Chain A
Amino acid sequence: MTLLAERPSTGTRHPLRPELQRGFAPWAGGAVLLTLTVAVAVPAETWQGGWAETRDQMHTAATLLGIPMALAAGCWQGGRERRRRTGELMETSVRGSLPRFLASALPVAVWVAVGHLAAAALALLATWYCATGDSPYLVVPLVDTLVLACAALAGVVVGRVLPWRLAAPLLAMGAYVVLGVLSYDSRNALAHLSPLLDTSANRVPVWWQPIVTATWVGGLAIAAVLAHAAHRRATALLPLAAAAAAGALLVQTGDGLTHTDPIARRQVCDTSTTPQICVSARYEKLLPQVTQALSGLTGRLEGVENLPVRFEDRPGGSRPDEVQLPMIKPFGSSVVRGRLTDPEQYAWEAGMMLIGRAWCDRTDPAVGRTDAAVEHYLAPSPAEAYFDERDAKGSKADREELKARQQARARLLAMDEEERRTWLSEYFATAEECDPSGVPTL
């Protein structure tokens, strides 16, 4: 009697609940989370600290790895009734075929989506604590979540239709190949149908791109589900038409799907130094570090004339009175996790940017020595001591050349401040000329 009285309380559970809690679906979510986390964590130095870089890395991983994985997971789940030989039993259920389909397909889709959301959240957290400016981009990961859920649903349909052991890995490999081929040649018009939006960190998708992509991918998945499981199969035509319209719009728009991020064109500057120092607004929190790293260089240039007005950090070429700031991006070399890796090296690179004779076909030896002395005075290269030592142990010519270099350095250092400022002003007036005649030498 007691048992009978207790039974109804367990009967109120939603049928989705046990499917969500047990079986393959949580494992699929875990596999997606693990794969995506490893795939973005291994090259973490190249994106951690930049919100746009994080967005792009996560998007690439979610599309190229997540979609095949979601398809395979769905396909495996779709073959479940066949493997367990419970298909006929399910046929006897009171519910229609669509609710039955959704009861086994939705948990996988939900768990795959949760796996991706968790991986994306981890990536955002990893960037948050060392962010260099800008703000998080949330729309792209959310659309990716939707795309992965749709891929899982489509995978379930394939799994139900294809009675083959290798269907799941084969489907995943097929997805790899299709996505790979679509993104291999971006000039291909059909490339824009791929959910992989090929952007550089300086670009953002237009506002309607997420909606159209979601319609394109979601329409295809829903059409597949309805065509397979709906009572009236013709209803599949509606999402199919929506997907076709969205797909046509994507192909038509082509490269217009993204535009330059306004924040990438903006710069933040420290105008108290000579030359002024500007970094892209996307990396504004790096400005104090960059200013600090270049403080020795800018301190020595105070009062010197004929210098560029500022170090700039914009996409594209510099204006005539500006010089490019040494590279901050791509992350992983100069900047790792929001820190300058080697301030000395960075300062030397900045000094080299001011001496514009690297493009000359040939440089007069005396001018070369002068350039090296100025380089040494402004911000010596960390490798300078190594080359000096090597030349000191080298041939007679090497030793003589080293001696001449050291004499030039000593001459520049021996000048008093006013004299050196005047000399440097003269020097920088000719810093970009290849003709040695006008260049003051040491």
Chain B
Amino acid sequence: MRPERGADPVTTAGPVLYARSRALPQTITALAVTTLLAIWAAHALDSYLDPDRQVPVVALAPLFASAVIGTSLHTASDELDRTAVRPWWRRRLLHLLTLTALATALLPLAVLTSTQTFGPPAMIRNVLGCTGLTAAAAVVLGARLSWLPVFGYVSAMYLGIAGLRGGALPAWAWLLEPRTGGTAWTTAATLFLLGGTAYVIRGARPTP
């Protein structure tokens, strides 16, 4: 991190330093590994037999991806960052959108074969909703603990939803709504919009 005299000027370029300080290379690797694990899990669970078997993949992969994105929002030099002359919101926006776009592009690969129930649209919806929750949690709790609320939500839905199968699910159960479109998408998109906006404006809460 410390620029040395005579070092290659590229290494001191702002975007590269930013990416390094947010551990973005590790984050992208973690997202790629999550995708591979999700593909493997979808295959191992024989999910083509029964759409319900995809629930673990469609719920847990976005959860972990959003945890990865959320923890990447952490900065070790928060007070120093806030003294910068340039506005931070553009970088925050770019950071959040790039990683979310990457996750929404990668994770649906795990459910490509099933288009009827929990297909790529459901996966994208869940990535958006979970990331929105994580971004909001980063503002409130700090980036490193931002996985906790979404983790609690996904856990509770994962088991609790068994009693709600059949019929349309209420809006708060957007995570496991099998049909595409409707309130589930609206809820997830709203969550992403609200959480993303809060993060872009406020930034993650500084934590020790």
Please indicate the chain A residues that have their CB under 8 angstroms from the CB of B158 in the complex.
Answer: 39, 64-65
Q: Which chain A residues (166-217) contact chain B, with CB distance < 8 Å?
A: 166, 168-170, 172-173, 176-177, 180
Whether A43 and B164, one on each chain, are in contact in the complex, defined by CB atoms closer than 8 angstroms, is yes
Q: Does B152 contact A (CB under 8 A)?
A: yes
The number of A-B residue pairs with CB atoms under 8 Å apart is 79
Cα–Cα, bound, A173→B56 (Å): 11
Residue A238 lies at the interface, judged by CB distance under 8 Å to chain B: no
- With both chains docked as a complex, state the minimum distance between the C-beta of B154 and any C-beta of chain A, in angstroms: 9
Question: At the interface, yes or no: A40 with Cβ under 8 Å from chain B?
Answer: yes
Of residues 48 through 81 on chain B, the ones whose CB sits less than 8 Å from some CB of chain A are 56, 60, 63-64, 67-68, 71, 74
Among residues 15 to 71 in chain A, which have CB atoms less than 8 Å away from a CB atom of chain B? 31, 34-36, 38-46, 60-61, 64-65, 68-69
Query: A residues within 8 A CB of B23?
Result: 165
A76-B71 Cα distance, complex, nearest whole Å:
13
| Option from B41, B144, B155 in Cβ contact (under 8 Å) with A65 | B155
- Say which residue of A31, A39, A43, A166 sits within 8 Å of B30 (CB atoms): A166
Q: Across the interface, do A173 and B60 meet the contact criterion of CB distance under 8 Å?
A: yes
Complex Cα–Cα for A43 and B159 (A): 9
Task: Report B120-145 CB contacts with A as 1/0, cut-off 8 Å.
Answer: 00000000000000000000000011
With both chains docked as a complex, state the minimum distance between the C-beta of B146 and any C-beta of chain A, in angstroms: 10
Which residue of A40, A68, A173, A176 contacts B160 across the interface (Cβ within 8 Å)? Answer: A40
The minimal Cβ–Cβ distance linking B49 to chain A, given in whole angstroms, is 13
Bound Cα distance from A414 to B59, whole angstroms: 62
A231 contacts the other chain (CB 8 A):
no
A41-B148 in contact (CB<8A): no
> Which residue of chain A has the shortest Cβ distance to B208 in the bound complex?
A84
- The answer to whether A42 touches B148, judged by C-beta atoms less than 8 angstroms apart, is no
CB distance from B40 to the nearest CB of A (A): 11
A42 near B155 with CB under 8 A, answer: no
Give the interface residue-count category, chain B. Answer: 20 to 34
Say which size band chain A's interface belongs to. Answer: 20 to 34
A436 → chain B, closest Cβ, in Å?
39
Closest to A36 in B: B156
Which residues does chain B contribute within 8 Å of A166, judged by CB atoms? 30, 67-68, 71
Asked if B87 is at the interface of the complex by the 8 Å CB criterion, the answer is no
Please determine whether A68 and B60 come into contact, CB atoms closer than 8 angstroms: no
The reply on B162 being an interface residue by CB < 8 A is yes
B159–A64 CB distance below 8 A: yes
Which residues of the other chain, B, contact A60 by a CB distance below 8 angstroms?
159
The DSSP consensus for interface residues of chain A is helix
B167 at the interface (CB under 8 A from A): no
Write the chain B residue with the least CB distance to A180. Answer: B56
Q: Is A65 in contact with B156, judged by CB distance below 8 angstroms?
A: yes
Residue pair B152, A43 in contact (C-beta under 8 Å): no
> Max chain A CB contacts within 10 Å: which of B74, B162, B207?
B162
Tell whether, in the assembled complex, residue B60 and residue A31 are in contact, meaning their CB atoms are under 8 Å apart: no
Is A368 engaged at the interface, CB distance under 8 Å to the other chain?
Answer: no
Query: What CA separation (Å) do A36 and B159 show in the bound complex?
Result: 9
Identity of the chain B residue whose Cβ is nearest the Cβ of A31 in the assembled complex: B152
Interfacial chain B residues near A41, Cβ < 8 Å: 160
Known: A76-B145, A83-B144, A173-B64. A43 touches B160 (CB 8 A): yes
A148 smallest CB distance to B (angstroms): 13
Find out whether the CB atom of A34 lies under 8 angstroms from the CB atom of B152.
yes
A346-B204 Cα distance, complex, nearest whole Å: 57
Which A-chain residue is minimally distant from B163 (CB atoms)?
A: A43
Which residue of chain B has its CB nearest to the CB of A41?
A: B160
**Is B112 in contact with chain A by the CB < 8 A criterion?**
no
Q: Does A72 contact B (CB under 8 A)?
A: yes
Interchain CA distance A41-B159 in the complex, whole Å = 10
Q: Provide the residues of chain B in CB contact with A34, threshold 8 Å.
A: 152, 156
Asked if A46 contacts B156 (CB within 8 A), the reply is no
Contact between B161 and A165, CB atoms less than 8 A apart:
no
A96-145 interface with B by 8 A CB criterion = none
Per-position binary interface string of chain A over residues 66-87, scored 1 when its CB falls under 8 Å from any chain B CB and 0 otherwise: 0011001000100000011000
New contact pairs (4) apart from A69-B151, A173-B63, A332-B163, CB-CB < 8 Å: A165-B71, A168-B147, A173-B64, A176-B60
Q: Could you list some 20 contacts between A and B, CB below 8 A? A: A35-B156, A38-B156, A39-B159, A40-B160, A41-B160, A42-B161, A43-B160, A43-B162, A44-B163, A60-B159, A65-B155, A65-B156, A65-B158, A68-B155, A69-B151, A69-B155, A72-B148, A84-B208, A165-B74, A169-B67
